Amino acid sequence: MISIIADNILSPLGETTEANVQAVREGRTALREHRLPGVPESFVASLFEPSIGFEEGLIRSIRGALASAKEKGVEIDMTSKEVIVIISSTKGNVADFECIGASAQHVASHFGNPNRPIVVSNACISGLSAQILAMRLLRTKAYRYAVVAGMDVQGKFIVSGFQSFKALSPEPCRPFDGDRCGLNLGEAAACMILTNEEHRTQGEWCLLDGAMRNDANHISNPSRVGEGCYRAIQQLGHPTDTWSCISAHGTATLFNDEMEACAIDRAGLSQVPTYSLKGCYGHTMGAAGILETIIALHAAQEGWIPATKGFAESGTTHEIHVTREEEPCPKGDVLKLLSGFGGCNAAVGYRRLSENTEVSWPQEPKVSGIADLEMRYTLRLTPADMPDGMTAFYKEHVGNYPKFYKMDPLCKLGFLATELLLTEEKEAEGELTPEAETTRQDTRAVVLFSKHGSMADDHAYEETIRDAEAYFPSPAVFVYTLSNIVTGEIAIRHQYKSETACYILEEKDWPKMKEIIVTTFQDSGVKSVLGGWVDYNNDHDFDADLALFELITT
């Protein structure tokens, strides 16, 4: 069982978990109107004042969590190989166009950690993806502790992009409400320390399980029937009557809340008290999954369910139980949901350890090692394979998918490599029956690694906002500034509705990639993984190195 031994939240509402839990209980918010140089329109957000840099925020939050662990009598030696640092962020230090992997390395090095940190860049579900990865790695016993920290900094880049998406609310957001009209952005750093150590103390929270599922529908619009969110909840295989409350994503955009309510209803959870914390914090992106989990667990432990600040009257087609006021929290498990661009969705369940837990603990999943991994087909694409460029290569080898032209170079590269890899598979194994095809689509995960991520598109987007006289932020360019969109494009093209995940590493490191890919099979719904390296720096420096993985069956 993987338990949470300490945590910290650093937000405009306070520098400790306790201060933040108290602030939420009092219904406080730091959401207010802001202006930024170079951004013509004002916006409502929850920002650090004075500002806190990406690495500084992560370091302070990790330090806070380590201090909190120490208070509980757990001294964590960050210089030990038994500690892995996992960073959750969508854009890192994008203002300076720094690779997130480099920032993460600075943070890990600050604490003298000898392991290469792993960055989870899975759009808005990153904070839950990072916990799921930590849980899986700890189950393998490769590490004793995982330090999971998330942050995003809100500057001109992200604000202008969300404005171009017409996604921002001009007032404090109203999750699930009939008058909701968009989200607010927020800044925070948050950290959780997880362990596989058996020093369980009563009251400690454990991760029951977690799952990620893709809508395979659209890169920015969620599935109207909440398909991926529903599937992620169902994958947990948890009895509906044991959830005490749901900490929803609840961004307050028209589409997110509608789809989330639909997924919650479809999963038979419409009576379970559900809330969103976005009215207190705004959308803190890379921090959201960690921050909102910490608040959820501390509130449940104290016996209350937070009110959904900003919610008055239900505004979703599917009626669910959204909290208007604080409610008493019955004993039971806590469900956390998130959804994000690229069609990704995540659900994680938590249970509190107590002496008289009547419900049985779920069976631990099968944990396989790298030796159990079978690489079935491989495909490599480098500039040498495309002397006339990607478009010419596409026309010659694919040619029937006009969406290709809309993609950024990272997605184009991942798309082309996938097309060729799957052609290789099809030629070797023949056409599948429709039933077998559906099974494959439901059970094939897409797990990609990159160094530069969306950096090339980051520069392209910056061009659209650089000049005050010609300031035309492009939504079509902005959407690709999330590194995980490449996994979404592949999922959409091939209707893969299983897990999709994107990780940033400082260099192509096959042992590390395999270490992570094999953990994906801890999800019992995953039967094969399309995974590997997809990195684009410029037209002369890119590398796609993909493979299809299955577990060796004996």
Partner 1 sequence: MNIEQLKEQIIDALNLEDLTPNDIDNDAPLFGEGLGLDSIDALELIVLMEKYYGIKLQNPAEGKQIFKSVNTMAAYIDEHRTK
Contact positions vs partner 1 (CB under 8 A): 164-166, 218-221, 391, 402, 405-406, 470, 472-476, 479
DSSP string, 390-408: HHHHHHHHT---GGGGGS-
> φ, ψ for residue 360 (rounded to 5)?
-80, 150
**Of 296 and 482, which CB lies nearer to partner 1 in the complex structure?**
482
- What are the C-alpha distances in Å from 246 to residues 174, 274, 419? 17, 5, 39
* Between 165 and 510, CB nearer to partner 1: 165
Distance (Å, whole) CA 273 – CA 322: 6
The separation between the first and the last C-alpha atoms of the chain, rounded to the nearest angstrom, is 27
CB-based contacts of 191, cutoff 8 Å, min separation 6 = 7, 8, 58, 61, 62, 64, 65, 147, 148, 149, 150, 290
3-state helix, strand, coil in the chain (%, to 5): 35, 25, 40
**In the complex, least distance from residue 472 CB atom to partner 1, rounded to whole angstroms:** 5
Q: Which amino acid is at 448?
A: L
Q: What's the closest the beta carbon of residue 504 comes to partner 1, in angstroms?
A: 24
DSSP label of 269? -
- Sheet bearing 43-46, strands edge to edge: 32-34, 43-46, 185-186
Beta carbon of residue 393, minimum distance to partner 1 (angstroms, whole number): 14
8-state DSSP, 322: B
For residue 22, the SS3 value is: helix
Other C-beta atoms closer than 10 Å to the C-beta of 511 total 7
CB of 549 to partner 1, least distance (A): 32
Q: Which is nearer to partner 1, 359 or 476 (CB)?
A: 476
How does 518-528 read in b/e, with b if 16+ C-beta sit within 10 Å?
bbbbbbebbbb
- Output the smallest distance, CB 125 to partner 1, in A: 20
What is the smallest separation between the CB atom of 390 and partner 1, expressed in angstroms?
12
**493 SS3 class:** helix
Do 68 and 189 meet the contact criterion of CB atoms below 8 Å apart?
no
**Minimum distance, C-beta of residue 223 to partner 1, in the bound complex (Å):** 13
What is the nearest approach in angstroms of partner 1 to the Cβ of residue 406?
A: 5
221 vs 538, which CB is nearer to partner 1? Answer: 221
| Shortest distance, position 187 Cβ to partner 1, whole Å | 25
Closer Cβ to partner 1, 168 or 490, answer by number: 168
Q: Which tokens hold the place of 553?
A: 């069956």
Q: Which is nearer to partner 1, 148 or 168 (CB)?
A: 168
The C-alpha atoms of residue 548 and residue 420 are separated, in whole angstroms, by 12
Minimum CB distance to partner 1 smaller for 392 or for 436: 392
Report the residue number, 135 or 219, with the smaller CB distance to partner 1.
Answer: 219
| CB-nearer residue toward partner 1: 164 or 500 | 164
